[in-house]
């Protein structure tokens, strides 16, 4: 469950809708016969190295099978609306989001310690935990060094900050784990100007950015 502060405003309503309809979203994903996953190499520029004084440099980035289906990048929708009508109907109301993907992690997979260049917060909703309690991620704050274990459970969500929290992942359950991932800025803390400044720094990575902020603002005013 997320902190209550994330359930305020338009974003909060979208979170509640995603968690209400997770089964339907999983069904939309499962029933697409020809999924085209992103090339893991596409993420190499966004994954950052570890601090020099970090005490656990756990080898290669991925051991096993990990895939990402691109759902949205900026205003660019990576899949057909008719294939994901429930998911997109919710996402189109979600303010201040940047990236959206559906991630799968196969059994006996390890994802090594790393941080990501994407600022803000990352929401992950578990659509399928893989059939057990042995799938999760370790998160460590760069400043406090505090380390926490999060165990995935189907239908439940969590949020962390991938740019300032070192994280890794594992799946020792018998089936593939599936999660919905949304990178976003917290609606209650970020202004239009701050969000626009962030996008200027990453404009070469996304499509349709010149209209993105105004689009979100206009939608927000209509709700």
Q: Under 8 Å CB-to-CB from 202, ≥6 apart: which residues?
A: 98, 117, 118
Does position 82 have pLDDT exceeding 80, yes or no? yes
Q: How confident is the model at residue 2 (pLDDT cuts 50, 70, 90)?
A: low
Among 36-50, 152-166, 179-193, 198-212, top mean pLDDT goes to 152-166
Nearest to 159 by CA among 132, 134, 131, 137: 137
For residue 21 the two structure tokens come to 């309809």
Sheet containing 66-73: give its strands across: 76-77, 66-73, 97-105, 177-184, 121-128, 157-160
Does position 70 have pLDDT exceeding 60, yes or no? yes
Among the listed ranges 25-34, 150-159, 190-199, 206-215, which one has the minimum average pLDDT value?
206-215
What pLDDT score was predicted for residue 45? 47
Instruction: Please tell me the distance from the alpha carbon of residue 146 to that of residue 123, in angstroms, as a whole number.
Output: 20
For residue 56 the two structure tokens come to 């656990």
Mean pLDDT, residues 101-128:
89
Please name the residue that has the structure tokens 């895939």.
67
What pLDDT score was predicted for residue 189? 75
What pLDDT score was predicted for residue 51? 56
Mean pLDDT, residues 178-206:
72
Q: Under 8 Å CB-to-CB from 10, ≥6 apart: which residues?
A: 93, 94, 95, 187, 220, 223
Residue spans of the domains in the chain: they are: 4-222
Mean pLDDT, residues 201-216:
46
Mean pLDDT of all residues belonging to the chain: 81
Q: 122-146 burial, b if ≥16 CB within 10 A, otherwise e?
A: bbbbbbbbbeeebbbbbbbeeeeee
SS3 51: coil
Which is higher by pLDDT, 84 or 36? 84
Among the listed ranges 44-48, 75-79, 93-97, 143-147, which one has the minimum average pLDDT value?
44-48
What pLDDT score was predicted for residue 219? 43
Does position 118 have pLDDT exceeding 90, yes or no? no
Hey, how many other C-beta atoms are within 10 angstroms of the C-beta on 31?
8
Question: Under a CB-based contact definition with an 8 Å cutoff, are residues 151 and 141 in contact?
Answer: no
SS3 181: strand
Mean pLDDT, residues 93-117:
88
Mean pLDDT, residues 55-61:
52
Does position 87 have pLDDT exceeding 90, yes or no? yes
SS3 205: helix
Q: Under 8 Å CB-to-CB from 48, ≥6 apart: which residues?
A: 114, 115, 116, 117, 163
Q: 43-63 burial, b if ≥16 CB within 10 A, otherwise e?
A: eeebeeebeeeeeeeeeebee
What is the dotted CATH code of the domain comprising 4-222? Answer: 2.60.120.330
Mean pLDDT, residues 72-96:
90
What pLDDT score was predicted for residue 213? 45
Among the listed ranges 24-38, 43-57, 158-172, which one has the minimum average pLDDT value?
43-57
Which is higher by pLDDT, 18 or 144? 18
């Amino acid at each position: 469950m997320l902190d209550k502060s994330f359930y305020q405003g338009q974003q909060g309503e979208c979170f509640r809708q995603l968690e209400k309809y997770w089964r339907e979203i999983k069904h939309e994903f499962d029933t697409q016969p020809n999924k085209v996953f992103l090339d893991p190499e596409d993420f190499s520029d966004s994954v950052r190295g570890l601090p020099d004084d970090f005490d656990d440099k756990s080898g290669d980035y991925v051991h096993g099978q990990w895939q990402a289906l691109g759902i949205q990048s900026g205003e660019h929708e990576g899949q057909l609306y008719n294939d994901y009508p429930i998911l997109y109907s919710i996402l189109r109301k979600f303010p201040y989001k940047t990236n959206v993907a559906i991630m799968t992690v196969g059994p006996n997979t390890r994802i090594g310690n790393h941080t990501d260049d994407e600022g803000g917060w990352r929401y992950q909703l578990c659509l399928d935990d893989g059939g057990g309690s042995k799938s999760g991620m370790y998160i460590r704050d760069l400043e406090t060094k505090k380390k926490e274990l999060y165990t995935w459970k189907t239908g439940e969500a969590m949020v962390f900050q991938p740019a300032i929290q070192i994280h890794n992942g594992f799946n020792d359950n018998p089936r593939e784990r599936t999660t919905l991932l949304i990178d976003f800025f917290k609606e209650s803390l970020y202004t239009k100007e701050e969000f626009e400044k962030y996008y200027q720094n990453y404009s070469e990575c996304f499509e349709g950015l010149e209209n993105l902020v105004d689009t979100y603002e206009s939608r927000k005013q209509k709700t």
